[in-house]
Structure 1
Amino acid sequence: MLQRIFAPERFTGWHFLAIMLGWFGIVIGVNLFMAWNATSSWTGLVVKNSYVASQQFNEVTAEKRRQLAMGWKATPAYEAGTLTLDMRDAARAPIADAIITAKLGRPSYEADDHMVQFAETAPGIYEGRTDLTAGVWNADVTVTGAGGDVWTRTLRFSVR
């Protein structure tokens, strides 16, 4: 039976038409799927206006250098609904009496973004309550020290 179907003398224009429609149907289907994924996931937008951001490059760079010179470090840890930040200065001393907020979200998906406020539970140890699912998370941390110094950093961590 198969020999009769695939025999060279039996290949007709209808066979060719079916093969072409099947091939283009697959190509168009894959393209539609990829277009839907591209429009329903992360936009890739980092700044709203790249020209304005480029005009502020020198100021932003100077601010980042000032923050790096402070030598502050934040170490995140997540367990049982609590995100903990261990804040240390350049001498590894705890940074106490700071006000800390963070915008938590996935690196490439904006639907899970939310804000967390941290409270100091011990010198240099700050905790914020939040429910995070397994995977990779970013925390855009803003720390205002007791002296008014502002420090920002994006921390990436994993939740198991």
Structure 2
Amino acid sequence: MTREFTGWHMLAIMVVGFGIIITVNLTLAWNAVATFPGLETRNSYVVSQKFEADRAAQNALRWDMATTLSAGVLTVAITDQDGNPVQPTVTQAILGRATHTGQDETPFFSWNGTALTAPVSASEGYWNLRLQLEAPDGTPFRRRIQLSAE
């Protein structure tokens, strides 16, 4: 005995198919909004007023940075234009994922003579280091550095 394919069958297939698509889209949208880490700044206009001056001051330092994240150790090596190591003051540092703040941590750096090092509990994957430093002459220095932990 064969059953006849009717319009009701087609309607059921369409409702179930589009229902799955809509459910997946709503779930992904909900998770995207729920895990959004927030804004970089509250008022971008005010920040933009001194952006160029801050950038020029940072570039005038002529620092070269090398950052690694390996075996639970975060290393930030900074050298000046002559290749000499620079020991800046760390004013703020946050190591975290780019997509959520659940695994953010504040590394506590120590100077080993050539670089700043900090023990961290970063698992494998991609990480962002949001670093604020102060040069010996008082110039603020800010960078967001993308890292990959092995």
TM superposition score normalised by structure 1: 0.80
Query: How many residues in Structure 1 have an aligned counterpart in Structure 2?
Result: 149
Query: 1:131 corresponds to which residue?
Result: 121
Query: 1:157 corresponds to which residue?
Result: 147
Query: 1:120 corresponds to which residue?
Result: 111
Matches within 5 A, 1:59-78: 59-78=50-69
Q: For residue 29 of structure 1, what is the amino acid of its counterpart?
A: T
Query: 2:23 corresponds to which residue?
Result: 29
Structure having the larger proportion of residues in helix: 1
Q: CA deviation at 1:94?
A: 0.9
CA radius of gyration, larger in: 1
TM superposition score normalised by structure 2: 0.84
Overall identity of the aligned pairs, in % = 30
Structure having the larger proportion of residues in strand: 1
> Using the alignment, how far apart are the partners of 1:59 and 1:12 within structure 2?
68
Structure 1 gaps, min length 5: none
- The change in CA–CA distance for 1:109 and 1:61 in structure 2 (over 3 A counts) is same
Between 1 and 2, higher relative CO (CA 8 Å, sep ≥ 6) is seen in 2
- The change in CA–CA distance for 1:34 and 1:158 in structure 2 (over 3 A counts) is same
Q: CA deviation at 1:130?
A: 1.0
Structure 2 gaps, min length 5: none
1:12 aligns with 2:6: yes
> Using the alignment, how far apart are the partners of 2:93 and 2:128 within structure 1?
9
- The change in CA–CA distance for 1:154 and 1:43 in structure 2 (over 3 A counts) is closer
Q: For residue 17 of structure 1, what is the amino acid of its counterpart?
A: L
- The change in CA–CA distance for 1:145 and 1:17 in structure 2 (over 3 A counts) is closer
- The change in CA–CA distance for 1:33 and 1:79 in structure 2 (over 3 A counts) is same
